[in-house]
């Protein structure tokens, strides 16, 4: 379905009921809002894996404006501030109070924008395989450590100009080596995703927000318990960047989980992460 949020029609899908019959009462489940990676991808990265959480929470999938099946809106609205405000606006439109908000990769950038701009709104935050800023040295160094010289060279080219390699033979040949850079789990997953390279180009153009973002100072505004998950073999947002996020969040609110042998995102390589998330839903 589509709902209008801040003047733009966003695509939304839902797994599970909010209220379930439980003896003499209607029991209310928490709501988990999933923010997908990209930019230029869609919510299908979470399907079917996160449907398994529908017995514990109402699971809400959304395509960011300019992404997937959502409307573009003006390109001037393709900013982390607007995408973050859209999360709050979506919850207002759907009547969602105190959500658990999970963002993966680019979705984690959006989740940080949302949580630092609306710190009293979320009940919990989950930041998976993401970063507070682009740290080219850490990304390229991690790729070299895990994949050798060829991986180091290809990753350096990718983070310098993401569109230069996107979809090319070089990208496709190295993505398995790099634990699936801007990944697809299978041919089927790739085919069912709605990709929008125009928003990726906008975000990562020279001088674009991809290069300028830095949430580290703002993370001190976070007020809710925050689970930070990083994969030890993630070359897109290396685990050191998860450590950096956790260190910037106020003391006592951040829980850092490093997942051995897992890449980007971790739930593909270690499905038990879904059990950890389920246990943190409240």
Q: What is the pLDDT of residues 242-267, one digit of tens each?
A: 999 999 999 999 999 999 999 889 99
CATH topology of domain 2-133+188-279: Rossmann fold (3.40.50)
User: What pLDDT, on the 0 to 100 scale, is given for residue 149?
Assistant: 52
- State mean pLDDT over 261-279: 93
Whether this model's pTM surpasses 0.85: yes
User: What pLDDT, on the 0 to 100 scale, is given for residue 119?
Assistant: 98
Q: What whole-number percentage of the chain has pLDDT above 70?
A: 82
Is the pLDDT at 69 greater than 90? The verdict is yes
Tell me the C-alpha distance between 276 and 195, whole Å: 29
- How many CA atoms does the CB half-sphere of 137 hold within 13 Å? 0
- State mean pLDDT over 80-108: 98
What long-range pairs does 92-97 form, CB within 8 A, spacing at least 24?
93/3, 93/4, 93/5, 94/3, 94/12, 94/60, 96/31, 96/33, 96/60
Is the pLDDT at 178 greater than 60? The verdict is no
- Across all residues in the chain, what is the average pLDDT? 88
- State mean pLDDT over 159-176: 53
Is the pLDDT at 177 greater than 50? The verdict is no
Query: Where do the structural domains in the chain lie, given as residue ranges?
Result: 2-133+188-279, 136-181
Is the pLDDT at 184 greater than 90? The verdict is no
For CA atoms 170, 107, 213, 130, the dihedral sign is negative
Tell me the C-alpha distance between 126 and 114, whole Å: 12
User: Residue 151 in contact with residue 144, Cβ under 8 Å?
Assistant: yes
- State mean pLDDT over 101-127: 98
> Which pLDDT tens digit goes with each residue over 208-218?
999 899 999 99
């Amino acid at each position: 379905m589509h709902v209008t949020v801040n003047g733009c029609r966003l695509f939304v899908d839902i797994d599970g009921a909010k209220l379930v019959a439980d003896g003499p009462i209607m029991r209310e489940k928490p709501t988990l809002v999933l923010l997908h990676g990209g930019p230029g991808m869609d919510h299908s990265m979470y399907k079917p894996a996160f449907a398994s959480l529908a017995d514990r929470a109402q699971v809400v999938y959304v395509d960011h404006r300019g992404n997937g099946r959502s409307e573009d809106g003006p390109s001037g609205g393709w900013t982390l501030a607007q995408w973050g405000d859209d999360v709050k606006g979506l919850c207002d439109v759907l009547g969602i109070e105190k959500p658990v908000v999970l963002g993966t990769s680019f979705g984690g950038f959006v989740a940080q924008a949302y949580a630092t701009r609306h710190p009293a709104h979320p009940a919990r935050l989950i930041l998976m395989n993401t970063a507070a800023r682009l740290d080219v040295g850490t990304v390229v160094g991690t790729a070299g450590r895990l994949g050798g010289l060829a991986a180091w060279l290809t990753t350096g080219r990718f983070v310098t100009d993401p569109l230069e390699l996107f979809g090319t033979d070089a990208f496709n040949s190295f993505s398995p080596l790099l634990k699936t850079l801007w990944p697809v789990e299978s041919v089927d997953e790739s085919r069912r995703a709605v990709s929008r390279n125009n928003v990726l180009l906008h975000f990562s153009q020279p001088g674009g927000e991809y290069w300028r973002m830095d949430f580290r100072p703002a993370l001190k505004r976070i007020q809710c318990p925050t689970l930070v998950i990083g994969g030890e073999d993630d070359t897109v947002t290396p685990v050191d960047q998860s450590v950096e996020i956790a260190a910037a969040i106020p003391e006592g609110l951040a829980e850092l989980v490093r997942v051995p042998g897992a890449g980007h995102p971790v739930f593909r390589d270690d499905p038990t992460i879904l059990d950890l998330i389920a246990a943190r839903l409240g």
